[in-house]
Every structure is written in structure tokens, then in C-alpha cells.
Amino acid sequence: MAELTNKARRFGTAPVFFSSIATILGAILFLRFGFATGTLGFWGVILIILVSHLVTIPAAMALSEIATNQRVEGGGVYYIISRSFGLNIGATIGITLYLAQAISVAFYVIAFTETFEPFFSFIQNRYNILVPRQVISVPVMTALSVIILKRGANLGIKALYFVVAILFISLVSFFFGKGDYEGPVGLMNFTFRNQDDFFMVLAIIFPAFTGITVGVGLSGDLKNPGKSIPLGIISATIIGMLVYLFVTWKLASSASPQDMLDDQLIMSRIAVMGPLIIPLGLAASTISSALGSVLVAPRTLQALGYDRSFPSRKLNYILAKGRTETNEPYNAALITCVVAMVFVIMGGLNMVAQVITMFFMVSYSSLCLISFLNHFGSDPSYRPLFKSRWYISLAGFLASIWLMLMINLTAAISAFIIISIIYLSISNHHKDRKGLEVIFQGAFFQLSRNIQVYLQKSKKIQIGSWRPAVVCVSKNTFNRPKPFELIKWISHRYGFATYIHLIEGYFSKATNQKSHEKLQKLIQLSEIEESNVYVDTLISPSYTSAIAQVIQLPSISGMENNMALFEYEHGNSKELCQIIDNYALVKAGNFDVCIYANSQKAINFRQGIHVWIKPTDSENANLMILISYIILGHPDWKKGFIKIFSLCKKDEKARTWEEIVRLIQGGRLPISLHNVEIITMEENINPKTLINEKSANAGLTLIGFREEMVKQLGEQFFQGYDNIGDAIFVNANKYKEIK
């Protein structure tokens, strides 16, 4: 963005301070502070000043902090937000900020017109003609546009010094003046009235405190932005707040509430030579504020164009194009003047003030949020020379959002909706740019780290109830996706899952590159499947060494992995033998073990999950039921069900039924008793025959096994289930209680 910078870079701190303070002590001070004090009383306005600065001071500190952490170029606040939040977020907020700045030009021109109030009153009283304010405001806006388009920033900065001098004289005249009204003596005698109008008045006068963006808008023209921005805007904010506190006291003690409501130029009746000095101060402050806004807004728009924020390439080129070596944003200034002229023609000082308030609240809340997240995220590259505090930034963010909602709930919600639409439009056009995830990336990293450390230290995660933390390692990820789907179901709501894609071989530059490529494919697969599975790759010379590594991995959930999932293709003896050979290795780590027999059949979710419980499954039964319940919680199984088959001796049928019923009802399991079948075991019937017969069409079949069976029968135990589809053989490390 160096092209947006004024190569001359001729300004120091003074223009930042003077442009900010001239905007802060502007139209609202002369035209609406009397109205505010007359409406709410001394303490009501004091509260508004303090509440408003709960937003503006944190915003000024956040802005100063961010500005001293990076090289600030042209574009002011927009540049800072876009380089901190990303271009899509920056453009969204930048557009709203630009509108606030452009409308501010109209606001100050309309306010300037009020200095001609004696002229309008004279015409109405003498000739009974109600002259519209646009008779003055439109020519003034036209003249201002011509001046800015011809002379640019140089004239505006030179005029600032003259304007601030007049403003200073006006304030001195006001404070040394004395009105006819004898106000209360002692601060405790002042009042706070009309509390119901508090937020309405705040919305009208809040633009009085928004001058910091004007000073920052000159960033591309500053010799040392990192020094000038913090010093200029923070000093302007603090001095402006103090002046407003004293102005409120002076108004409340020098004029009656009714006079302040009836006469918007009440300050002229209090100040020394008020009828001359105060209108002159109003004219100077409003023109300077209009100059400041009309200097800053085009630079924001120019920066938006330079970043190709708009969908039209030609429009971006036109907006970004500057003039002469100072890179004056001529085209952007022309558009800004047109926007301002539209609002000048519309008129309505209070209405325009409330619109500006909403736009600035959004910008200030964004600045505070950036600062807070940078503190919380602890990015090593975030090393600002000026440092705020995270709690100050957080307070500023919350205060601005709260004030928006309290001022006008409908307008606030509308603003959020409009911003969302702008963001979605920009993100759709610039899909290659980072979006919202950039904002919270560092914060999520820190939050995740702290939570995991806490969980590890607390050792409380196993207290209460069991939940699966399953880990699966496979080298057949992309040609056999079912195991990935299985752990996706397990981790959807109740559990945690880690999926490791195995790359057999020794670690080298080539295998490392291959690992990164496979990981990207895994992440894409995870996004397509909309899973909560954590995916990774592992380079290992053998299947056994890979398992030894994987079972020692910490879980990202903060708890220990407690379940290992193996998978093999149904009927593939070589893969099954490989799993059996490593079974003892996994059991040494006290894992529950699930061996997934992956068939060629498509899973029929409507046929449900079948759970087979044998007399030897005293430890496995509850784990199988819990796994089936967890899997059934995934949307893929929304039309599925759980069916339990329990094998028992003939004389134990009644007792087995009672135990199953007690388990289902006591555990509040979504299993219909109609889906429970007790089968008495006949000597001449092999359980495998029953399973093949009754679960031939099941979506998924769960079968328990014990360690002794693996040792005695080996692969033979898992064979002979040729008629069923996908099956999970389950071995519990210990009994799981269903609460």
C-alpha cells in the first residue's frame, strides 16, 4: 500500500491534534450542548460525557496501540483495521467508516448554516417568508467541494491553525462571560432530569466526541505516524473531554433550562461579545470539521479502491488513482462531495447526527475488539510501542455495543444486518482473502491452550460419566472412507476423535512433503464431511511403530485418548492378522478397542444399529450400548434405531429381560422395548449363525469380544460373519456404568 502514501510526508503531530480537537470541539458544542444540558440537567450531561468516553478513550488507546505496532500508510483507521482483521473485514468496516465520514461533511455544513439564524429570522419576521436552510448550505457545500478538489490537503491543514485560534478565542469568551441567570451554587445542587431521554440525547451529541478518526485519517501524510497518532489523538480526546465537562458546568450555572431549550445559540448570550464571537466560533469549528472530514473520507475511499474492495475493477482503479506526487485522492474526493451534497439537501441536523453515531460506534467497537484479541492472542509479532490494557479495550467494545442497543435497538440491529450483507458480498467476491477466522485465530489458540492445560491439571474429566476419546490410524483413508465416517459419528456430539493417516516409510524431505499434501486433502475431506474430527498425518516405517506412536499421542480434547479404532476390509485376512498382532500393544495402554470390519455394502441407516450381547460380554455390554447411542446422535442416523439382541441360557431369560429393561429405563436410553429380543442359546446353534440371520440387513452391527478369545482363536473369531454388513467388534478395558 506504499503507493497510497504521500511521498512528501510533510505533516507532524500538530495537524493530528488540531484536526482532532477542532472536530471534537465543533458543531455539537455550539448548537446542541445547551439543548442537552437543558433537557437532562448538569449531572445527566456529565454522565453522557463519561459514558461516551468509555468508548472513545479505549478506542483512542486501541488505535494508538495498533498504530505503533505496524507501519501505518494511507487510509487511516481503515488501513489499521484491514491490516489487523484482514481485507474482507477491513473493507466491510471501511465502507461504513467512509459513509460516516462522508455524512459528517454534510453534518458540519448543515451546522454551519445555523450561524445564519439571524438572517433566516429577519426574512421570516420582515417578509413572512420561511427560507430553507439549503439556500446557504448548498452553496457552502459547493464552495467547499471546489476548494478541496483544487487545493487538496495543503489548504485544509493551513486553515486548521486559523480555525483553532478562533475556536480558542470563542471558548475563552464563553468562560469569561456571565449570563443573567443565577444558577445553583455547589455541584450537589445540580439536577439530573428527564432520564427517559438520556439515550436520545446521547445519540445526538455523541458525534462531538468522534474527532480521533479525522486525525488518524492523515496517516499517509505524516512523517512519523507511530508517534504523531498516539500523541495527537489521545491528547485531543482528554483535552476535549475536560473542555466539555467545564462547558456543561458553565451552561448549567449561567442559563435556565428553558432558555437552553429555546435558544440553540445560548452560548452567545453568556459569552463576552457573544453575538459576534460565538457565531464566529461556530462557523470556524464547523468549517474546520467539514474540512477535516472532507480530507479524511476521500483517503478512506481511495484506500478501499486500492485494495480492490469493490466488485468492479474499473471502479477500484478510478477510486485508487491519485493526483500529483502528493497522491491527492481527486476522484474519491469528488464522490465524497456528491454524497455529502445529497445529505445537505436532505437536511435535518439531529437525524444526520444519529446516523453518524451508529457508524462511529461500529468503527470504535471494532478497534477495541482488535486490541483485546491481540492482547488475548499473545501474538509474538504484536509488539506495540504504545500499550493499552486488555480490560480497557474489552470495556470499550462492550460499552459501544451496549450503547448502540440502548440508543436504538432497531437501528442497531439494522446496522448489524447491513454490515453482515456487506461482508458476505465482499467475501463472495474475494474468496481468496481471509475472513472472520483471522479475527479469532490467535484468541482461539490461547483459549484452547489454557483449557487443555487446565483439564490436564484438574484431572476431573473422568468424574461423572464416560465419553469416548477415540484415535484411529489408517493408510487407506482415501479409498476406504467408512472408518472416517464412523469416528465422525462418534465425535459429532458426545465424544472426541483423532484420525491419523499413515504414510509408511522413513522421515525425509520427500515423505514430509507428501505428508503436508495428504494433510491438506484430509482437511478438505473433513470440511466436506462437516466433521468435528481432528486430522493429522504420521510418517512411520511400519504399522506396529505407527500404533506405538499413536497410542501415546495426547488428545486435543484435553483428556487422555481412551479408545483405539482399527479397521480392515471384510475378508482381508492379511489386514486382520496385522491388527491382531498389535492388539496386545494397544491393550497395554489400557484402551478400549474397536475393530471395524469394513464391508462393501452401503450402510442402510433406516435398518438401525444391532447390538449383540452374549453371556461373556459382562464388561462389553454397556460400552456397546453407549457407542450405539452416541452414533445414533449423528444426523445421518436420524431415522435409525437401536435393537438389542441378548443371548442367554433358557433358565435366565426372565432375569436377563429385567436387567435389560432396568438398564434402558434407568439409563434413559432411546431404545424401545419392542426392539429388545432375548434369545435362548441352543447347544446346536452357533451364535454367528443367529447374527448372520437376524442382522443381515442391519446398518451397523456391534459384537463384543474378550482378550482370551483373540489369544485362543486369533483371526478365526472375527471370521464367519459373511452375511452381515459393517460390523464393530468391541472390547472394553473395564466396565462402563450407564448413569
Reported as a single tens digit per residue, the pLDDT across 461-489 is: 454 568 888 999 999 998 888 999 999 99
- φ, ψ at 645 (rounded to 5°): -110, 125
Q: What pLDDT, on the 0 to 100 scale, is given for residue 245?
A: 94
Q: Please compute the mean of the pLDDT values over residues 350-355 and round it to a whole number.
A: 72
**Side chain identity at residue 380, one-letter code:** P
Whether 296 contacts 11, CB under 8 Å: no
67, exposed or middle or buried, with CB in 10 Å at 0-12, 13-18, 19+?
buried
Task: State yes or no: pLDDT of 73 exceeds 80.
Answer: no
Q: Please compute the mean of the pLDDT values over residues 334-345 and round it to a whole number.
A: 89
Reference 249, options 193, 186, 200; nearest CA is 186
Task: State yes or no: pLDDT of 499 exceeds 90.
Answer: yes
Nearest-Å Rg of the Cα atoms of the chain is 36
Collapsing DSSP to helix, strand or coil, 372 comes out as helix
Q: What pLDDT, on the 0 to 100 scale, is given for residue 637?
A: 94
Whether 58 contacts 370, CB under 8 Å: no
Q: What is the DSSP-derived secondary structure letter of residue 75? A: T
Among 164-178, 320-334, 554-568, the range with the most confident prediction by mean pLDDT is 164-178
Cβ count within 10 A of residue 386: 19
Residue-wise pLDDT tens digits, 645-684: 999 988 899 999 998 998 888 878 888 899 999 999 887 7
Average pLDDT, the chain: 84
Query: What domains, with CATH codes, occur in the chain?
Result: 2-437 (1.20.1740.10), 459-593 (3.40.50), 599-739 (3.40.50.620)
Neighbour-count burial for 571-588, b at 16+ CB within 10 Å, e otherwise:
eeeebbebbbebbeebbe
* Residues whose CB is less than 8 angstroms from the CB of residue 281 and which lie 6 or more positions away in sequence, other chains included: 30, 166, 167, 169, 170, 171, 173
Q: What pLDDT, on the 0 to 100 scale, is given for residue 1?
A: 40
Report field, pTM of the whole predicted structure over 0.85: no
Among 92-96, 175-179, 714-718, the range with the most confident prediction by mean pLDDT is 714-718
Task: State yes or no: pLDDT of 696 exceeds 60.
Answer: yes
**For a pLDDT cut of 90, what percent of the chain falls above it?**
34
Task: State yes or no: pLDDT of 7 exceeds 60.
Answer: no
Collapsing DSSP to helix, strand or coil, 637 comes out as helix
Stronger pLDDT, 387 or 613, i.e. the higher one = 613
Three cell numbers, residue 131: 427560507
Q: What pLDDT, on the 0 to 100 scale, is given for residue 412?
A: 83
Q: Please compute the mean of the pLDDT values over residues 717-739 and round it to a whole number.
A: 91
**How are strands ordered across the β-sheet holding 496-504?**
534-540, 496-504, 469-474, 563-569, 592-598, 727-731, 700-704, 609-613, 642-648, 676-680
